[in-house]
Every structure is written in structure tokens, then in C-alpha cells.
Structure 1
Amino acid sequence: MKRFTYVRAVSIDQAIESLSVHPDAKLLAGGTNLVDLMKYDVATPTTIIDINDLPLREISETADGGLRIGALVTNSDVAVHPSVARHYPLLASAILAGASAQLRNAATVAGNLMQRTRCSYFYDVLTPCNKRAPGSGCPARPGLNRNHAILGASELCVATHPSDMCVALAAIGATIIVQGPNGLRAIPLADFHRLPGDAPEKDTTLFGNEVILGIELPPVLEHHRYSYLKIRDRLSYAFAIVSAAVWLTIDDEAAISTAQIALGGVAHKPWRNTAAEALLIGRPASRVNFEQFASMLLSGAVALSENDFKIDLARRTVVRALEQAASRTPQSQSDKRIH
């Protein structure tokens, strides 16, 4: 770990000013990802700005009946909050599917939004990586790529975003609230994370001197149906090979009235296709319709040398998650067996 200057911010304005003065500075909240990156010399900031004293630990109702979750609320506190458990169980389920209880107790909402990829080449400073060192190359393309992207990748990067929480937030339609020198800005979650394109070192659309204040969830109806299904190599503390977050409503005549579905483990960001979702509206919640949706959702998938299996796995995962949601039998995160 390289030496750094430590600053403990006592206000949001001070944090923003410090980021403006020190362009390579990093914000420290729970530290569950940043500290690891610093230990491996993947991240080498000269300044660390500790924001744990900022007043960003509240969960409160918004004026329109939605929910606002402060940036420093821990993942554990989000998952067990009564309003989240009752109105946004998809989010609670996704959080409980991720990491270990100890990590969830320390990890924060903002840190989860900002976590970096778990690509092994990115973590190994002895290998090239366009995300870590732009222009150095992407050895994952011809190398070990079993867990890498099948959607939205570029010639420069095939890494995937690791968050479970963000996949659920994408399906729910969350908004990220940030503040910078020019004031407040609201960023739809769909626009917050980037595809790699020709700048894979940039994970988000956040400006370097902006601070995440929290996330806002839209108001929901009581009869939403949901499921978060995560397929992984082992049942505990493993990143998703593929995951699916489903957020549905079905009317009195058994037709789908709203459908919001996001995939994880397949791209540089949580993956949604609103055009494909529109095809489900007004149609019965049947396996045939779910399979047609899954095929359209994955129509642009491109496999690498070792992950061709992920395309069919993602298709089957989406169909199973849709069936679980429609039948009101969401995937249990305490008993992870898929019945």
C-alpha cells in the first residue's frame, strides 16, 4: 500500500472541495472494496477523504411516497429496514444474496454503487489491464474469461460489474442523488454505470468532484411480484455468474401490467432492455412468453472463448426468475436451492 494523506470531512461541502483540490483522491466509507484495492496497489490515491461523519445515514420517505436511502447506510441496515422489506423486497433479497454478513455490516450503499470489477487481470498489477492502465491491453479477451461479459463489451474490456444490489436497483428504477460544486444532480441508475466503450477505466458517469448523497426509489404498488435469482459457483460469498432481478405486476385478468427485469454478471453494468420488457405487457405470465422475452433480451450476446455457456445459462435464469415472481415464490436467500 502506498503512502497517502488522510482527510476526515466534517461536511459535504468540505468533501466536495477536497475532491476538487485533490483530483486523484478517493472517498472512504465502509472501505470493503477500496482498502482491498489499495492493498494490492490497484488503487494508489495520494489522498483519502473519510466521509463517515457526514449526515448520510437516514432512510426516509420521499414526498411522492418513494424511499430515500442515505449513501452511508450499510447494506445490512437497508436489507432489514421495515420499509424496504415491505415495499422493496427485491432490493432486500439481492443484498442478502451478496457477500457475507460481516461485509454487509460494513459496506455502504454508495460503496456498493462504486465498487470495481472483480476481473483477476484488473487485480493483478503484473498484468496489463485497460481498466487499470488505459492502453495497456485486455488479456482477458484471449485469456481466462469464464466469468466475463457476454453483453455490451468492447475490444478494450470484457469485465463485468459485480454488485447484486445494483441489479435490483436497476430493475426497480432507482435514481442516484449526487452533489458537486454546481449543486445537486439526479442520475437514473440506468445512466449511472457505463459500458466500457473506448474508456473502460471509467465505471460511472459521476464527475470526479461529486459526492453521492443517496438513492431514491420510486413509489410502488403493494402487489408487486419479485424474485432475485443468483447463479454462482458456490452458495456463499461468491459473485454471480449470472443473476436476474424481476419486478412484475399482474392484473386481475392474469396479464402482465408492468415488467422490469435486470441481469447481473453479464455486462459492465446491470443490463436492462426496455424494448424487450414492453413485449411482455398485456400478455399472460406464461413460460412461452418468458422464453420469448429472454431470447430478445440476450439477442446481442457474444461469447468469449470460455463463457459460451453463460448465454444459455442467462436465458434459463431469466425464465426461472420470471416464473418465481409470477407465482409469488421468490428465490429464498436463506435456502438458496432452486426447486
Structure 2
Amino acid sequence: MEDTSRVGEARRHAAQLAEDCGLDETDAGRLALVVTELGTNLARHAVKGRMLLSPRPARREVEVIAVDEGPGILDLERSMGDGYSTGGTPGTGLGAVRRLSRHFDIHSSVPGGTVVLARVGTGVAQDSQAACTGAVSIAAPGERVCGDGWGFALHGDIAALVVADGLGHGPDAAEAAAAALEAFAEDPLASPSLLLERTHQRLRSTRGAAVMLLQADAATGTVRSAGAGNVMARLVSGVSDRAILGQHGTAGVTIRTPEEQSIPWPDHALLVVFSDGIESRWPAALLAPLLGRDPALAAAVLVRDHCRGRDDATVAVLRRKD
């Protein structure tokens, strides 16, 4: 969002996503106002502002994430007040965005920057009893499709997730990642080791992918995982930081017999899974202010601050509910 001319482009894209997700005229209008307000703020006031739009057709809603690298909001409470505007925008600032959204969250640090999350629509799908989820995925520079893929499955006390990174980037990598997501979707609550073996077989007709599969059980307080390649996971809480690694190999090409590990799932912990487009040595303290917030904020902050900038980049986050 280098200048205000990009705001209209974002609004037109949002209108198409609203139609794709089945939003009615009222919600489509709300979405247009949210995108205009946030986009104008980014163009006029932010450093390296970016807007991410994601369709969520199963929920009949569109997710909007506005992220920047500064200067941050010094008085966040005041910025949310009625009548406060960042200067000439059509709404009344972030307070208007919050009212127009079905779900809203914000995180800001000075001078680090701000991340705003807004979901507009009906939100018809039911949330899990065990966990909240969020993800951000962006394509490599110059590509129109992302070669990474992610997916969640929530059922009662169990939450399952997958992140797949197709080899290379572009359409062929996206095809491999999509095949991995299809294998996951067929039986997402199966054991991670079984899912990895099925994914390996499904990807044999593709160029292959690095894959991480995890299943978190709130009833037993455990996380089971199996993976191949350089998709990593970290389990971060206020007092711990534990890495979860997959075995060597590439699903669809060559892997050993899948091995599964099980570790404790601490209360309030974030389970963060990320492709190699994200630096692996990010500080756990970066997510400390976000442990109780919408997981999409944590995903957006990691992409903003630790994206390598030369490959597809994906962060998927699962937060255990209180």
C-alpha cells in the first residue's frame, strides 16, 4: 500500500472475495469500508504497509489483515475511541473498523509497528472447544500463486493441522501443496504418522513437498507430530519454547518409515508451524504479548519480522483455549 491509489485496487479485490464467499449486500458494504479505512491508514501513515485479504467461504466471511513496520500507535486506547481518525479517512478510525467487523483484534508496538485483524461476514462455522487458529501465507516475490499450503481441522478436544511446502515455488509447487492438503482433508483426525504415509503416496505424481502434520489433544494435554523436510514447529508459552522437527526427506520423493513423537501441550501455549520461508531462530519473546490474542496476529507478526523474502512463506498458529 505505497499510496492511496492502491486502496481502490484493494477494495475491488475485496468486492470479488465478498461475492465468492456469499456475503450479502450489507456485509459487502461493511467490508468495503473496512478495507478503505485500513488501506488509507497504511498508505498515509505506515512504513511498509501491507494489506492481506483472505476468503473464508466455509464461514461466509472475508479476513482482512493490515500490517506495517512502524511507527506504531502510542495511545492505542485513544485510537479506538469514537470520533478519532487518522486524518481524512471516510470512517471514524479504528473504532469504526471494530464496529463494522464480526471479529476484531489489534496489536501495536512503538516503533515496531501495528497489525490489525478484521473479519467481516456471518461467521457461520462453529469454533472449536479446544483451540483457536490463524494463518498467514504469502507467495514468493514475482509469483502469483503460493507454493505453500496449510489446513486446520477442529473436532471437540482435538485440533489437527498441516503445513505443506511444495518444492521450489510457483504453480508446480502449489500443485504439490494442494495434494498434501487433499490427503489431510480426507481423514484429518487420523494419526500424524499415518497421514504422513498417505501424503507421501499421494504426492508421488508431483514434485514433492516438505510436510508437517500435528494433532493437539486438549483432553490429554499432548501434541503428536510427524513430518518430513524443513517445515518446522515450535510450541511457545510464557515459560517454555520447544522445537518440533520432522525427519529428513521429501514427501512424494523419498522418506523413511514415518516416525511420530508426542510432547506435552502446555496451557495457553501457541503451536506455531512455519515453512522455510520464515527464519527459524525468531525470539519466543516476540510472541509473548500475543499469547492470549487471536492467533492470526502472531502469524502476521512472524511473517512481517522474519520472512526471508525470497521464497513462499507460511505461518499457521494454534492457540490452546483457557
- Compute the TM-score of the two structures, normalised by the length of structure 2: 0.30
* Highest RCO, 1 vs 2 (Cα 8 Å, sep ≥ 6): 1
Hey, which of these two has a bigger chunk of strand by percent? 2
- Compute the TM-score of the two structures, normalised by the length of structure 1: 0.29
